[in-house]
């Protein structure tokens, strides 16, 4: 997809990390952004930062922040509706929200491993479903990028739940390849570097490179 000013994107987990970096890269191209994040403070700070990328005065906000727990389907659905009502469609969806809990699951009395699966996998499935519905309603082609991990391709022995959640994202995304016939390309990115290195890499990498990299992955 060739990015053009006036397109719109929704980014989950867009207030920090890789999601924030990609949102900034899109805003620099003139793409209108909806940020979903559970942190009100970080979300509004990022929204203000993104708005600075738009030099022209618009009749509607170029950036929308929605405080959202991605595991709450009611909140997630409302955020997609708000994006559609604001921008009239959806061209790009980036599912970047994720958590990493390295506590051995057999010794996890809090059962936080269930939250890891809910955020990293189930919420991605829900968001992808909503993105497809929104894109089809817009009658325009679209791109969905799900954030995987190298640990979803190879076992991560000290974090089996995290590795399983990302492995699920990889296979789920690749299974959606047939939607390309309807004009929706769905890809998964699997960073092979640590969090800080990945963030630094993306801040110094063009959005075009991200798109080209995603094309190398089947699905």
Helix 17-27 and helix 40-51, axial crossing angle in degrees, nearest 10: 20
Q: What is the pLDDT of residues 8-52, one digit of tens each?
A: 999 999 999 889 999 999 988 889 999 999 999 999 999 998 888
- How many other CB atoms are there within 10 angstroms of residue 153's CB atom? 15
Q: Which residue has the higher pLDDT, 189 or 109?
A: 189
Listed as own residue / partner, the contacts of 198-207 with beta carbons closer than 8 Å and 24 or more positions apart are 198/18, 199/17, 199/18, 199/21, 202/18, 202/21, 202/22, 202/25, 203/21, 203/24, 205/25, 206/25, 207/3, 207/22, 207/25, 207/26, 207/28, 207/29
Catalytic residue at 162?
Answer: yes
User: Which residue among the candidates 162, 179, 195, 203 is catalytic per the annotation?
Assistant: 162
Q: Which fold has domain 8-215?
A: Rossmann fold (3.40.50)
Residue 206: pLDDT above 70?
Answer: no
pTM greater than the 0.75 cutoff: yes
Q: How far from each other are the two terminal CA atoms of the chain, in whole angstroms?
A: 15
The token pair at 169 is 């994202």
């Amino acid at each position: 997809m060739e990015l053009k000013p006036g397109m719109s994107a929704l980014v989950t987990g867009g207030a920090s990390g890789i999601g924030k970096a990609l949102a900034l890269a899109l805003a620099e191209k003139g793409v209108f952004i909806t940020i979903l994040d559970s942190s009100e403070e970080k979300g509004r700070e990022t929204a203000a930062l993104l708005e600075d990328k738009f030099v022209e005065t618009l009749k509607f906000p170029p950036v929308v922040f929605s405080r959202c727990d991605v595991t709450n389907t009611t909140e997630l659905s409302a955020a997609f509706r708000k994006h559609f009502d604001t921008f009239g469609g959806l061209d790009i969806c980036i599912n970047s929200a994720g958590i990493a809990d390295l506590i051995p699951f057999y010794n996890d009395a809090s059962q936080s491993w269930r939250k890891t699966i809910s955020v990293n996998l189930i919420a991605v499935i829900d968001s992808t479903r909503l993105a497809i519905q929104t894109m089809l309603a817009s009658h325009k082609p679209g791109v969905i990028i799900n954030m995987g991990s190298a640990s979803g391709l190879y076992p991560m022995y000290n974090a089996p739940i995290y590795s399983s959640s990302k492995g699920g994202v990889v296979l789920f995304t690749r299974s959606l390849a047939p939607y390309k016939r309807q004009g929706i390309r769905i890809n998964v990115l699997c960073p092979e570097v640590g969090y800080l290195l990945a963030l630094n890499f993306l801040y110094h990498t063009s959005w075009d490179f991200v798109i080209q990299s995603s094309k190398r992955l089947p699905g």
